[in-house]
Every structure is written in structure tokens, then in C-alpha cells.
Amino acid sequence: MVTVFAHGEDAFRLANAAGHDVGWVRPKVIGFGGFATEDRARAAALDGARVLASCLKREFGVAHLELSDRPRVRIVRDGANEWVVDGKVRVARLLRVERGRGRGEEFAIEFLLPPYATDAVAINAAQVVYGVLSADPTGTLDEAAAPKESPRLP
């Protein structure tokens, strides 16, 4: 379960059942943090993109992303941004986040939504994607690593 809280104008934060921040919603973007490794973030991006594509197709009747049945996932840089890419399709933006107090780095992912997606669609999509990421038996969404205090959301 994820709870949605207003977080300033046109922004929302997502908290898990324990009250830890696990993600955010901004205009045309949904994001999730707390991944301990780049591999976990990359796997979560692919899993999340699949369910997001299905959610958006159900909502709008058109495919937002065309993902491969045999994924070829890698990280690509384009200037300041890093992207999780499947073939030639940008799946999600990869963010590197300092944990603070010398605890190293963790990873977050952001999914870009189509320009016609409203805040309501974004919140619904975030809830659906979170459901898949939090249920992953491999522990892609590292809730144990989620901070006890609110992180600085992007």
C-alpha cells in the first residue's frame, strides 16, 4: 500500500505503510527511490515500465512504450541524464542519490508520462507501479533501506 500526500504545488510524495517516503509524483513524472544497487534500479525500471505501459494503454487506449519481449536493458547517458534503455526505448531516468552522513549512494528511477496524462492518471499509475515494485520477491524496492526521515525528493 502507498499513501499519497500533497508536497507543494503540483507535486505529491508517496509513503509506504510504515510512513517512509518511497516515491514522488510531479507533472508528467512518477519516481521511486530506495534502490540499494544500480542493478536493482534497472530491474525495477523494466518491471515498472511494463506495468506502466499496461496502465496507460488501459487508460488511453494507446501504447505509451513498446518494450521488447526479450529485454536488452542497459544504462545510457545523454548529457546530464542517465537512462535505463531497452533496445532503443528509454524506459526510465536513473538518478543517483547521496544517502548522507557517509552512507554512500542509492538509486532512484523516474518514469516520464505522456503529455496528455493528468495528475489523477499519474497518481493512479504511481500506485499501480508501486504495487508491482513492492511485491517483487527479489526485493527490487529496498524498503529496508528506506530512510526513517523524509529524504529530499527530486
Alpha carbon distance 31, 39 (integer Å) = 17
Domain of 41 in residue numbering reads as 2-145
Is residue 151 in some structural domain?
no
Is residue 45 in some structural domain?
yes
pLDDT in tens, 52-96: 999 999 999 887 777 777 778 899 999 899 999 998 889 999 999
Is residue 61 in some structural domain?
yes
pLDDT of residue 72: 84
- Count of structural domains within the chain: 1
* Burial category of 51 from C-beta neighbours within 10 Å (exposed 0-12, middle 13-18, buried 19 and up): middle
pLDDT of residue 101: 61
Is residue 93 in some structural domain?
yes
Alpha carbon distance 56, 15 (integer Å) = 22
Is residue 15 in some structural domain?
yes
Is residue 66 in some structural domain?
yes
In percent, the amount of the chain with pLDDT more than 70 equals 86
The whole-number average pLDDT for the span 5-30 is 93
The whole-number average pLDDT for the span 32-45 is 94
User: What is the C-alpha R_g of the chain?
Assistant: 15
Is residue 154 in some structural domain?
no
Statement: the pTM of the whole predicted model exceeds 0.95 = no
The whole-number average pLDDT for the span 134-152 is 49
Is residue 152 in some structural domain?
no
